[in-house]
Amino acid sequence: MDPLQQLFQQHFHRPAEKVTPLQGQLGGSGRAIVRLSSGDHTAIGVLYSVHEENRAFLEFSRHFRRHSLPVPEIYAENLTQGAYLQQDLGDTTLFQFLNANRDGASIAPSAIEAYRKVVAILPRFQVQAGRNLNYQVCYPRPSFDRQSIAWDLNYFKYYFLRLSGIPFNEQALEDDFTRLSDFLLTAPADYFLYRDFQSRNIMLQNGEPFFLDYQGGRKGALQYDIASLLYDGKADLPPELRQQLLDHYLDCLAACIPVDRAAFMQHYYAFVYIRILQALGAYGFRGFYERKAHFLQSVPFALKNLRWLAANVQLPIALPALMEALEAMTNSQKLQSLSTSAESLKVRIFSFSFHRESPIDPSGNGGGFVFDARSLPNPGREEQFRQLTGKDAPVIDYLNQQESVHQFYSSARSLVDSSVSGYQSRGFKHLMVSFGCTGGQHRSVFMAEKLAKHLRGLSGVEVELRHIELEKMGK
């Protein structure tokens, strides 16, 4: 039996009836992540061959829960087979919630409040839980030390600068790297450094944040994690919001330890720079080297952040060779063109009536998925719902109460997610998904809306949503 199914049966005393791959959570980590379910019981299963990272994640998780931090409960584990089972925290990441609640630079109060909750919790990880953490299980280093910094800077140099064709003087750049490392290491560093504190590693459940992917954590400086969150590339937070959230973070930090804000800010932007460089190294490795083009979609956002830093920040140390290379990057036509050459996968989602016309694929791709929702309970047969649509709250509440609706949507979403992942990795640009029902007013509209909201939260996906029958009705 599959080790994850064994763990599920061991914990819940019943076999898993359904195992659904969660492709959107794989990212660049190499983990196999699935959702296992049986009736009302559900869990997330992880298979990963790096024993040291598994051990760090499991030990950190138990430690954080002892400190009442919102992280997943660990249900069962089999480290020999690289398998563990953890609490299912749902499907909504902070990144998805942000994208669903913004219009360009205008971000809804609900999304801002979610970020405020997140930054308020961060000092509890860094200070309170960090005091008695077992740093001996950290992997690959127990602290964000000179070696860690060198790895990140060389990752950037060889996988981004070199592969993107940006010219640089290697010795002069190495001299700047040494100066930057020396400066970073003067910041107080006796705290837990989460390492990958960004919007895709934070889940929202009933409006409350839960935290994942801290297995790379180690001892380090306070500035790194808040810089990671606020300069998270594709989140693209406006500068004024970044400042508001930084101020809120420092207020919350001051409730844990005395804070010298001037001293904190003396190092802060140097950590912003190294986090952006580390991220660019990752984009270059996955995009230029492994030829996974969708990773390059984040590059224009990182360049935007670098332009803002160049215009608004003066570091307390001189880094002339590095700044020259960064300026060449922000002026590079090749890198600017990544926003179009690695453009988003466009997913067109339609609702329609099987009694009338079927949607036509305008991209020339030849169609895609067509899901028949007529097997589901029909709100249109209920008098109170007849004049409403699948976008109206009473209809949504009615359909959300039907188990068959959840099963149908879960199956459809799993198929679409798998195709989205495959299309992105192969560089395809168009996918079409249609939901049909009898009248094209209730069930198909509900499904199309629900899938569109999910896909809008995925990296590198542009969604176009149309309701064919509702358009005719003027709704």
Kindly report the backbone phi and psi dihedral angles of residue 24, in degrees, each rounded to the nearest multiple of 5, phi listed first.
-65, -15
The whole-number average pLDDT for the span 437-450 is: 96
- Give 343-386 pLDDT, tens digit per residue: 578 899 999 999 987 888 777 666 789 999 999 999 999 999 99
Q: Is 102 helix (H, G, I), strand (E, B) or coil?
A: strand
pLDDT tier, 426 (very low <50, low <70, confident <90, very high otherwise): confident
The pLDDT value recorded for residue 204 is 97
> Residue 456 in 3-state DSSP?
helix
> Interhelix angle for 299-312 vs 320-331, to 10°?
130
| pLDDT at 79 > cutoff 60 | yes
Residue 122 CA, distance from chain mean position? 17
Question: Percentage of the chain with pLDDT > 90?
Answer: 80
The pLDDT-based confidence of 25 (bands split at 50, 70, 90) is very low
Please report the pLDDT score of residue 1 as a whole number: 62
**What tokens were used for 30?**
């190499």
User: Confidence band (pLDDT; 50, 70, 90) for 28?
Assistant: low
Q: What is the pTM of this model?
A: 0.76
**55-64, 211-220, 287-296, 368-377 — which is least confidently predicted?**
287-296
pLDDT value at 409 more than 60: yes
Helix runs in 255-372, H state only: 261-284, 299-312, 320-331, 333-336, 338-341
- Predicted confidence at residue 24, as pLDDT, reads 46
d(CA 452, CA 394): 20
Full set of structural domains in the chain with CATH: 3-87 (3.30.200.20), 94-341 (3.90.1200.10), 345-473 (no CATH)
